[in-house]
Structures are given as structure tokens and as C-alpha cells.
Amino acid sequence: MQRPLLLSGNQAVARGAYESGVRFATGYPGTPSTEVVESLSTYANVHATWSVNEKVAMESALGAALAGARSIVAMKHVGLNVAADPLFSASYTGIRAGFVIVVGDDPSANSSQNEQDSRHYARAAKLPFLEPADSQEAKDFVIAAFALSERFDTPVIIRLTTRVCHSQCRVSLGSEIHPHNDQGPFVPDFDKYVLLPRQAVGRHIAIEKRQEELAAYSDDTDLNREEFRDTSLGIITSGVCYSHVREAFPDASVFKLGQPYPLPQKRMSAFADKVDRVLVVEELDGFLESEIAAAGIAVDGKRWVPRVGELTPQRLRSSFDAGAPQPIETGDPSITPRAPRICAGCQYLGIYTVISKLNLTVCGDIGCYTLGAFSPWNGIDTVLCMGASISMAAGMEKVGRTNGDQNNVLAVIGDGTFLHSGVPALMDLVYNQGRTTVLILDNATTAMTGLQGHPGNGEGLQGGKTKQVDLEKLCEAIGIEWVEVVDPYDMDATESTLREAIAYPGPSVVISRAPCLLLEKRAPIRQAHVDAAACTGCGDCFSVGCIAVEKYQTNGSFVADINHDLCVGCGLCVQSCPEGAIAPRLLTDDPDLVELSLS
């Protein structure tokens, strides 16, 4: 037998999809689910793409399923909000070939703007979901999900959490011979695929019946499993919480739900009858608890199981012992927090140094540039969700400006985010005669989630250049009459262009254009050097916020010092020094000096 492999939950999902004969995989990047599609793109016979956003991804994957090919779509929890519209109606159309939706929730909001619990979507859209506890189950459950999808003519949600997505565990692979399970080309079915009002009501009736059948299946399937040990305590749980329960309560009987929704009511009642006391252990909301309670089973759970933040066996146990939720586990709070930093030499350093001088209200957006909200720039006043910078700024400006006043609101948005959901907001701005200035940060990639391609850089996921969106032409076509491109490494020019844009009596767009430094890990050809004798210790260079500019103590006072392991020679600190004490120096030897890379 082949030795098991170490796979992350995301990689295992991809493998499961491959073993299921998936032909089309798409999604939108976002931690913790990014690697599902990335990993699928490496398999032969799988057509894998990044979509422009989650709604588009969901719709194209459904289209592929209706056209007869098994399809999978993956996104992070907040992505499912973007895709909620097609989600609810895909429940009505049903599928032809299997259709699986992977969603990654992020308890503790490790890399997210909220801590939402996406299980509610399954109930709201009347869809079954499966929840694996580890990588092996992630692979196996995807295979089960495709079978379930085709058997009941329904999209099936695989609900993951960060801990399952990113933990690596042993996985025994299945057969590589992918079954020929294509359903043949699309066959029209008016009453099913054309959701007009009359059709919708007809489908709703079918969906309610499907719900009953799925509940009966839940009572049948071995995805759900009772484990009897000591019967004084019975714990109902699912997903990664199962493994925490096994450590925190090794002797307890456990009902492990692989298909938590719809609930296996009969078996659950039987389980409850056999144990003295029933606990429900789940992260985030009391989703299972309310479902189980609604089925008439007396349970105890969120009274003491924390709702906020990730669980661990220790936190679970201490909450149980205390009879009250214990705080989220973090390191020693007395150690100064170490926030993530903008890379040395990134264009965003120059941009935020300029923005912080302009005294504007800044509506920010989501990406690496969100880090501009931290000191020394404190350059962002709002961050909500992808695409919201332009629309929120437009709203602020509408009520904040009395006639004739200068616009004082700036929207800052990355190129990826602009294409994801900023474009409709820009149209709205023009249509509704707003005057906001929009700063698009074009670094030619989706940097924060790991350098994925997008329509703005025209890099296809499985290789190959595709068409590139021309941002200037796009803005002009929308009706923006003032569009300028700036070089963010020239802070004076950037500042005067931004000031002009803000003064312009109409909506304006400034595009800051410089490729992300991580795209080409090039060794620098020059680096900054401080003339310690000329440095007065004024600290202006620190206002650029570059991690390569450090303080060097000299008895009582300090001077600036450049960390040459980090400096890429961008020259921003050079421009910031009022004394001319920092100068660029060419590097002639050791081209290997610096390698930019994420850990």
C-alpha cells in the first residue's frame, strides 16, 4: 500500500474532487480556502479558473454542472455573502452533474473582516452540508458530497473552518481512475432552469420534499456516527470540534455529525435516550444546538461553549469546568503585539505617506493596502467588505459636502478588489453625480491572498496570458472624465496629482501603478545608506513606515539606520529626509544579497 501523504484540508478537498472526476473548478481567492482551487489547477483533466468574484464563480460552476460536468466552487465565508444570490436559486434549479460548494469559515478571524458562521446559509437556502473533521475526511466527504448531490438533485455545501483547511494530516489516497460520470450535454427543462414566478413556486414545492428526503437520508448515512463509551455524558459535535472533544472528554460518548444538516433526528433522539446528559460542542454560533433543541431534545451548549474565537481542547475543557465561556486563547498579552507590516519598498509606503499629509477622510478596502490603517500613517478610516471603499465614500461625500465645498473624501482600493466589486460602485458614483476621488492601487496582482491572477493582469490560473483589462479605458467608459496614472515612488508628483484630483469638480480616478515586489523576486541594484554624521535624528524617514529603516541608538539619542537585509532600494526614505542624509548607493557585487519572500 502507498504510504499516506500529508495533505492540508484544502489539498484533500482538491484530491477528493479529482477522485470524483470533477471537470470544472473555480472560485475566488480568500484565506482560508484559497488552496482548494490552486491545488485543483495542478490536476490533469480539471479545468480550473479564478473567477472575478464569488457570485460569478458560483454561477459559472452551476452552469458547468447543468451542462453535465461535475463542478466545484470554493470561497471564503464572506465570499458566500457575495454569492448568496445564486446560492439560493441554485437550490431551486437543482443540478445535473454533481455540484459542490466549498466554504471556509474563519473562527478567530485570523485573516478576515468578520467571524460569520456560514452554516446558516445551508438552512436558509435549504441545502445539505457536510463537515469534515480532518484532511482524510475532507477528501472522503467531497466524494460523498458528489454522490449526494446527484442522488438528491441538489448543490451540496462542504463547510470547512480555518483549522481544517490549514492543518496537514495523513491522507490515504483513493483510486486515480476518475469515473466517467458526465451527464451528457445540457438538456433544456423549462420548469426547472427558467426560474419565473410560477416555476419558482413549483420548484419550492420540490425543494421542501427534498428537505424531507435529505433528513431521512441523514438518519441513514454513515457520515453520521455514534460512538458509545461512558454514557453519563454524550456529546454531539461535528467538524474539527470532534477532535477537540476526543481530547478534552476522552471517555464521553460522542455523536459525530458528518452531515449536520438536515439533522438525523431519529438517531439523535435515540442517542440522547442512551446517555444521561447531552452536550453540544460547536464553534461560533449555536447552530446545531438550536436545531437539536427544535427537535425536542434537551441539550446544553452555548451556555458555556464560547461563541467567539476558535476552540482548542484546553479552552473547551476549561470552559466546561468553569461553566462559562473562557476567553479566546492568545499569547501573553503583555508582549507588544506585532502587527503584519507592508513589505520593505512596497509602493503602498509612498502612497500612505502622501495620503497622511492630505487630511482627508479615507474609505479603505481589503488587500495588503489595508495595512495603511496602522501607524505611522493611520491612513484609513473605514474598512467594511470588498468593494465598499468607493460606495461608502460616495455616500459620505453626498451628505458631507455642502454646495461648493471641496470634496474631502478619498476611496482607496486595490486593482483586484476594484475588479471584484468596485466597478459597479464606480458606475454608481458617476451615475449619481458624485465627486469622490478614487485611488486605484494597481500592483498587477492579488497580493494579499498569494499573488493570484485577475482580469487586470491577464494571468490565467493554468498558465497562459489572457486579455488584460485596461483600467484607464474602463474608467473612461464608465464616464470618469479625470483619470491620471502616477508613479507611487515619486511622492511629490503623487501628492500634487492627488491634490488636483480632489480639487476637480467631478468624480476622479488616480491610478497608482507599480508591480508588486513579490512578483519578481529581484535582487536590488541599489540600496539606501545613512550618513550618520548628517542625520539629526528628526525621525521624518520613519514616517514612511518602511521596515528596513531602523533606529540606531547612540548614547542617549538615535540616528536612522538601514537594514540592508531588507532594503530594496526604492528610494522612498531618501525622498523623506530633509537633511539629505540618506542616499542611494549602487550595489555592484553580491547580487544575491536580498531575496524577498514570504516565509
Partner 1 sequence: MIDSTMDTNVSIMIAGVGGQGILLAGDVLARIALHSDLDVKKSEVRGLSRRFGSVWCQVHMGRRIESPIGGLDSIDYLLGFETGEALRYLPYLKDGGTALVNRLEIGKSVDDLAPRHSELFGDTDCIWLDGSDEVANAGCSRNLNVFMLGAFSQLLHFGHSAWQEVLSELGDRRSRMANLRMFEMGTAAFDDANRRPVKPK
Ligand X SMILES: Cc1ncc(C[n+]2csc(CCOP(=O)(O)OP(=O)(O)O)c2C)c(N)n1
Helix (H, G, I), strand (E, B) or coil at 589: coil
239 interacts with ligand X by CB under 6 A: no
HEC letters along 528-542 = EEECCCCCCCCCHHH
* Closer residue to partner 1, CB minimum distance, 60 or 318: 318
* Closer residue to partner 1, CB minimum distance, 331 or 464: 331
The minimum distance between CB 180 and ligand X, in angstroms, equals 34
Helix (H, G, I), strand (E, B) or coil at 300: strand
Burial of 250 (0-12, 13-18, 19+ CB in 10 A): exposed
Q: Which stretch binds ligand X (CB under 6 A): 270-278, 355-363, 411-419, 494-502?
A: 411-419
Position closest to ligand X via CB: 414
* Closer residue to ligand X, CB minimum distance, 179 or 460: 460
Residue 580 to residue 517: CA distance in whole angstroms = 26
Q: Which residues pair with 157 in a beta bridge?
A: 101, 129
312 interacts with partner 1 by CB under 8 A: yes
168 interacts with partner 1 by CB under 8 A: yes
Report whether 206 contacts 35 (CB < 8 A).
no
Site for ligand X in 473-492 (CB under 6 A): none
Among partner 1, ligand X, none, the one that 331 touches (CB under a kind-dependent 5 to 8 A) is partner 1
* Closer residue to ligand X, CB minimum distance, 38 or 140: 38
517 interacts with ligand X by CB under 6 A: no
Report whether 507 contacts 438 (CB < 8 A).
yes
Site for partner 1 in 322-351 (CB under 8 A): 329, 331-332, 335-343
Among ligand X, partner 1, none, the one that 414 touches (CB under a kind-dependent 5 to 8 A) is ligand X
414 interacts with ligand X by CB under 6 A: yes
368 interacts with partner 1 by CB under 8 A: yes
596 interacts with ligand X by CB under 6 A: no
Q: Which stretch binds partner 1 (CB under 8 A): 152-160, 251-259, 305-313, 530-538?
A: 305-313
Helix (H, G, I), strand (E, B) or coil at 61: helix
Give the total of residues touching ligand X (CB under 6 A). 23
Phi and psi at residue 330, in whole multiples of 5°? -135, 180
The minimum distance between CB 294 and ligand X, in angstroms, equals 31
162 interacts with ligand X by CB under 6 A: no
Q: Which stretch binds ligand X (CB under 6 A): 200-208, 266-274, 445-453, 493-501?
A: 445-453
Among ligand X, partner 1, none, the one that 209 touches (CB under a kind-dependent 5 to 8 A) is none
Provide the grid cell at 250. 476522552
Residue 121 to residue 101: CA distance in whole angstroms = 12
Among partner 1, ligand X, none, the one that 386 touches (CB under a kind-dependent 5 to 8 A) is ligand X
Residues 6 or more apart in contact with residue 222 via CB below 8 angstroms: none
Which amino acid is located at 445 in the chain? T
What single DSSP character describes residue 375?
T
| DSSP result, 125-189 | HT--EE--SSHHHHHHHHHHHHHHHHHHT--EEEEEEHHHHH-EEEE----S--------S----
Burial of 190 (0-12, 13-18, 19+ CB in 10 A): exposed
Residues 6 or more apart in contact with residue 3 via CB below 8 angstroms: none
Q: Quick count: other Cβ atoms within 10 Å of Cβ 205?
A: 9
Given 353, 443, 497, 543, the residue binding ligand X (CB under 6 A): 443
Residue 343 to residue 340: CA distance in whole angstroms = 9
Cell 467531497 belongs to residue: 142
Provide the grid cell at 342. 507592508
* Closer residue to partner 1, CB minimum distance, 44 or 598: 598
Q: Which residues pair with 160 in a beta bridge?
A: 104
Helix (H, G, I), strand (E, B) or coil at 62: helix
What single DSSP character describes residue 552?
E
121 interacts with ligand X by CB under 6 A: no
Residues 6 or more apart in contact with residue 268 via CB below 8 angstroms: 236, 255, 292, 295, 297
The minimum distance between CB 595 and partner 1, in angstroms, equals 7
247 interacts with partner 1 by CB under 8 A: yes
Given 446, 494, 497, 527, the residue binding ligand X (CB under 6 A): 446
Among partner 1, ligand X, none, the one that 170 touches (CB under a kind-dependent 5 to 8 A) is partner 1
Helix (H, G, I), strand (E, B) or coil at 14: helix
Q: Which stretch binds partner 1 (CB under 8 A): 120-128, 241-249, 293-301, 535-543?
A: 241-249
Given 262, 345, 416, 524, the residue binding ligand X (CB under 6 A): 416
447 interacts with ligand X by CB under 6 A: yes
211 interacts with ligand X by CB under 6 A: no
Binding site for ligand X (CB under 6 A): 28-30, 54, 76, 78-79, 82, 366-369, 386, 414-417, 443, 445-449
Binding site for partner 1 (CB under 8 A): 3-4, 6, 31-32, 110-111, 134, 162-163, 166-170, 240, 243-244, 246-247, 310, 312-315, 329, 331-332, 335-343, 368, 371, 448-449, 547, 550-553, 558, 565, 595, 597-599
